[in-house]
Copies of this chain bind each other. A is one copy, B any other.
Amino acid sequence: MSISSRFAVGIHILTLIKMNKNGVSSSEFLAGSVNTNPVVIRKIMGMLKNAGLVKVRPGIAGAELAKDLSEITLLDVYKAVNVVQDKELFSIHENPNPQCPVGRNIQHTIGPIFEIAQTALEKALGNVTVEDVERDMIEREKLNNKMLRNE
């Protein structure tokens, strides 16, 4: 099991729109960087749009950010692209036996525990903004350039 790469792609898209702010970020352009089909990008873009993170209009080339990257956490992106439903990161078997003391309590007992774990995950994502991601990339580019010059 793995959480859909839509999440990673969503982060990629937002960061790239920002770094390409003087250019036009069409779905074709973004797809070229992610290395996927433009339709995949448009689908994800639709979700980011519904969540109020980007501005896109039919017929008009190029997406724009609806907020500053410092105001978008990874949790916002994660929620936007619907990779995990509320309280449903962990699945629990559906029809345990009500005649059994364990069967009739298991769902109520582990449900709240699973929620705590899911919340811990989401809190960690809420502590990072897409601007942090952008900053780290800029830093990595600087380091790479330095290394190239010294070779």
* Interface residues of A, Cβ cutoff 8 Å to B: 1-5, 7-9, 11-12, 15-16, 19, 32-36, 74, 83-85, 88-97, 100-103, 105-106, 108-110, 113, 116-121, 123-125, 128, 133, 136-137, 140-141
Minimum C-beta distance from A146 to chain B (A): 15
Number of copies of chain A assembled together: 2
In the bound complex, do residue A93 and residue B33 qualify as a contact, i.e. CB atoms below 8 Å apart?
no
In the bound complex, do residue B2 and residue A97 qualify as a contact, i.e. CB atoms below 8 Å apart?
no
In the bound complex, do residue B93 and residue A11 qualify as a contact, i.e. CB atoms below 8 Å apart?
no
Q: 9 new A-B pairs (CB below 8 Å) besides A7-B90, A8-B90, A110-B133? A: A3-B91, A15-B106, A32-B100, A102-B137, A109-B133, A109-B137, A113-B128, A116-B124, A117-B125
